[in-house]
Amino acid sequence: MLTESSAAVVRATLPAVGAAIEDITERFYGKLFAARPELLRDLFNRGNQAARTQRQALAGSIAAFATYLVEHPDERPDVMLNRIAHKHASLGVRADQYPLVHRHLFEAIAEVLGDAVTPEVAAAWDEVYWLMANALIAIETRLYAEQGVTGGDVWRQWEVVARTEETPQVASFLLRPADGHPAPTFRAGQYVSVQVQLADGARQIRQYSLTGAPSATTRAIAVKQVTGTGGDPDGEVSRHLHTHVRQGDQLRVSAPYGDLVLEPGDAPLLLASAGIGCTPMLAMLEQLVATGHPGPVTVVHADLSPGDHALRADHEALTAKLPAATAHFWYEDPDSGHRTGRVDLTDVPLETGTRAYLCGPLPFMRAVRGQLLDKGVAAADIHYEVFGPDLWLAQA
């Protein structure tokens, strides 16, 4: 992996780079979007850029990758790389875009760190960048090949065949390929990207988990209207889908990607979600029902109230179809008739060897992960999905 000489330089300069990494990424994005404004308009999430979360995720992933190379010189952080590559593939990121990122990123590094960037330092961090970039390019090339596409051409037109208002904030959309060809296969837990053209001409992209059975001929997504808080803007794409998209309309949808997927076998499972994080869990339940999973399945969900729990009837019905499954719902509404407050697994029995799958806000997943570790679940058996920039992975 990283050469010994470069490893020594990276180890020595990592504190300085880490301290300045957010300044570096801010300047990088400024340069990138000034040179290629269409990338902010049609590829990057403008909401995440405004909230600065994408910058935090990039900064954290670069620092985490470099740290891993230094601390584990004969290994590669494949969990991080696979997660990033799946997200890139869902966006149609191409190999020829990596040199563009390299140029603006290293200009930003030189400007922020100044004379500290000697030729030796530049060469060492250049090696770090291309180790990460080439690994991602290889994984993304494989992911594209698995879907039968090349060069990041992941997009197809899909027709909305039904729309259902699940809650006041969540609408589900049933989709089928507009060209009449079969829908691409997917694994339960994966997501698709949806690209819509907004009023200002921008073609913004967001990811949504597939909620239906992998064996179905149609595909389903559930979209929560994102309302900005603390000065952050409302969700542009979710607002557009809720306001404008109806049965008979068409959407531009990517091939399915995502690394939060059920592993084969009869191991005991925990499917824990909060809010709209229930969506990948529903696809997993659909698969478990279809395959007749005989092992124990513990379903955990947290929400504001039963009325805010999107697809609640499906959540309950699918759980009831499994021979050894139990559901535990927590609601903030004290009059819900269910458990109230935050999820507490103290009295929830879990079998030895449980594999856990989590999806929801970061505070929820951190809390549940901590409880699972306390109950003896192995860290390697706890898997998660984040909607938006993966700040948890970057900080791990």
Q: Which of 140, 236, 286, 385 is catalytic?
A: 140
| Catalytic site residue from 29, 98, 144, 191 | 98
* Overall size of the chain counted in residues: 396
- Strand-pairing partners, residue 272, are 300, 358
Q: Among candidates 331, 330, 312, which has minimal Cα distance to 320?
A: 312
Would residue 331 show up in a list of annotated catalytic residues for this protein?
A: no
Residue 353 neighbours by CB under 8 Å, 6+ apart: 267, 268, 381
Residues 6+ apart with CB under 8 A from 73: 1, 2, 7
Strands 269-274 and 250-254 turn out to be unpaired
- CA 21, CA 4: separation in Å to the nearest integer? 23
257 as an active site residue: the answer is no
Q: What does the DSSP assignment read for 331-386?
A: ES-TTSSSEESS---TTS---TT-EEEEES-HHHHHHHHHHHHHTT--GGGEEEE-
Which residues have a catalytic role annotated?
Answer: 98, 140
